[in-house]
Amino acid sequence: MLDHTVARWVRAHGGSAALAELAGWASLADGHGDSALPLRGEAAGRHGMPPLEDDAMEQVMADPMVTVVTTGSTQAAPAVAATPFVVDSGYFYLLRNHLHEGVVARHANTRRAGAGTEPEGSSADIDVLFHGDGSGRVAAQRAAVAQVPGKRLFVLTGGPGTGKTTTVLRMLMLLLKRRAGSGAAPAVVRIGAPTGKAAQRLSESLRDGARLMRDGQTRLPEDWHPWLDASLNAPASTLHRLLGSRGHGGGFVHHAGNPVPADIVIVDEASMVDLAMLRHLLEALREDAALILVGDADQLTSVGTGSVLLDLVGAMEAAADPGLVRLSHSFRADQSLLPLNEAVRLGDIDAFERAVIDAGDQVRRVQIGAPHELDAALATWARSLADGLRAAGAFSPLPRGADGAPDQVAVLGALDGLRERQLLCALREGEFGAEAANRHLESSVRAASSGGALSLTRGEWYAGRAVMITRNDYTAGLFNGDVGICLEDADGALGVWFAVTVAASAASAASAGSAASAGSAASAGSAIDDDAAAPATERSRRAVCFVPGSLPDHQGGFAITIHKSQGSEYREVAVLLPPDPDNRILSRQLLYTGISRARQKVQLWASDAVLRRAISTPARRSSGLRARLDASQWS
């Protein structure tokens, strides 16, 4: 194990036995997402580490391989770099995490303290953007749009359905209009997200919001349409692509010496951003650039180290920082799940029980504590899944369009059918994990696809199979988290289809390449970035096709982990939790993230004891970042 390797490395380089043990524990904590290991107080002894005796503590702090910092400074002091470990304000750090925290805090606090004196958005502009609606339901949205001018760091947080995307769209329109009014050059806007799926979903949501503002009930006056179009001209990409990842070589093209060429950078699904990535992003931005972080601070934190959005929101709320706005009003037509989500978010078990009862058929609890109970639940779910795919046309040969290629409407209908319901699992491996559940569902759906007769002539591929990409492939235009469906064309050939947002100029290429080679489809798929500057009225949702054997790394998509589901929504979800109430993965953030993916219906596959443990257990990551972001550090 890496932890033991770290401990052996310390001993091999002259470190004490006490330091070697502590370094091993710090490595273990880092693997669990902690950026630091607490040495004092209630949090000490984290992950099972035995408490340090006073003499051992003194020995560690006196070790030449440790630098002791007593100031809690946000500066990444050059002297610290001389040792591989740091003790700072009662926390034990691996050097890289201490440097990450220091740089993130310094940049964030500088941006917070350096907010310009630019006046807030005028009430007249705000009224236009909100069509004169001054009611309480949009009060927080109006505040966000009014307060964003002049901010170099702005955080917008809120749960699903609270209007984060439409608020971002209005914020962008106001910023672009004001900049044009000042006589400055048009602002360069870039949009990023931790995953390609999240970036694509944001593009789709912005486009849908723009359509309503152009032609729908929330139609804007025509003199605002140029700013509406300009708001959608920003290319959306993964953060790695935004920074210019050098791939396996490490590092990024954009850094402090070569900043990202952008005036405004928006990051969606910011709860998924880890400590190291936020450091790289902050270092790569120009000092005068505005950074807008958008996300749900109550969701699961990143799979990497740290809980940066949660720490930022906590510090900014404590300081009443005007650079933070939390949205709470939900605009979803179906309100039945909102009390359930809120009860879990707050860890209120009694409110959860009431919400389940009040939701009626919208929430179903399935008691699962043994393998045979899980098998029964999976069998029932598989039947509903297969019925939905059959109704969406996923099992039938695709009709031809006017151009002779598979009909786009039919393909997109099948993809939409796939998003109707999703099984979300807390675990990836094991009897109660996503991999085992997906195998069960694959077998049932395959049988339904072939009319009950399992055919092995095509190997693992069959009409209706769902897959999720697990590795970014920029050449193909497919990204980690993208979900596609295997469909059969009129000639009997199988292809795997994915929905992308492309410009009209690329739409014909997407259609033409749909039944051709993976290379032509990849070219169409890459239009997500390359053609994102097309006017909003010319952008559309298209489907592109890949030969099954040409796909980058992928896995079955009928059952995925809750972590993988972030940034997605489905009409109905089933959330499968492990049967052991003492499983360390259980937390209210985990459960909240899972159930909040549902728009209309939720099934909870867990015992009462497991649900209670999840709701009552907040997920906490050990870090010194929140203290570094405290108002006393920057005010």
Instruction: Give 349-389 as a DSSP string.
Output: HHHHHHHHHHHGGGEEEE---SHHHHHHHHHHHHHHHHHHH
Location of structure tokens 């650079």: 323
CA distances from 170 to 50, 127, 238, 267, 321 (A): 52, 11, 22, 16, 21
162 is in an annotated binding site: yes
Instruction: Look at residues 436, 605, 527, 535 and name the one whose alpha carbon lies nearest to residue 210.
Output: 535
The answer to whether 164 is a known ligand-binding residue is: yes
> What is the rounded CA–CA span in Å between residue 442 and residue 436?
10
Backbone angles phi, psi at 128, to 5 degrees: -65, -45
Contact in structure between 425 and 555 (CB atoms under 8 Å): no
Q: Amino acid identity, residue 226?
A: P
Could you give the dihedral angle defined by the CA atoms of residues 521, 524, 526 and 528, in that order, rounded to the nearest 10 degrees? -130
Instruction: Find, among 26, 148, 166, 24, the residue nearest to 97 by Cα.
Output: 26
Q: Hey, what long-range contacts does 332-338 have (CB within 8 A, 24 or more apart)?
A: 332/160, 332/161, 332/599, 334/362, 334/599, 334/600, 336/360, 336/362, 336/363, 336/600, 337/362, 337/363, 337/595, 337/598, 337/599, 337/600, 337/602, 338/161
Q: How far is CA 382 from the centre of its chain?
A: 27
* Residue 428 contacts residue 439 (beta carbons within 8 Å): no
Specify the DSSP class assigned to residue 220: P
Interacting residues of 398 by C-beta distance below 8 A, sequence separation 6+: 406, 407, 410, 411, 487, 488, 489, 490
Q: Give DSSP secondary structure letters for 573-601.
A: EEEE--S-TT-TT--HHHHHHHHTTEEEE
3-state secondary structure of 551: coil
Question: Residue 45 corresponds to which amino acid?
Answer: G
Known binding residue 161? Answer is yes
354-361 long-range contacts, CB within 8 A, separation 24+: 359/602, 360/336, 361/601
Asked whether residue 593 is marked as a ligand-binding residue, the answer is no
Is 238 labeled as ligand-binding?
no
Quote the tokens at residue 525. 């798929």
Phi, psi of 609 (to 5 degrees): -65, -40
Q: At what angle do helices 164-181 and 196-215 cross, to 10 degrees?
A: 70
| Nearest by Cα to 381 from 556, 555, 557, 558 | 558
What does the angle CA 443 – CA 449 – CA 452 come to, to the nearest 5 degrees? 70
DSSP secondary structure code for residue 41 in this structure: S
* Pick from 445, 454, 443: nearest CA to 394: 445
Detail the residues annotated as belonging to a binding site for ATP.
Answer: 158-165
Detail the residues annotated as belonging to a binding site.
Answer: 158-165
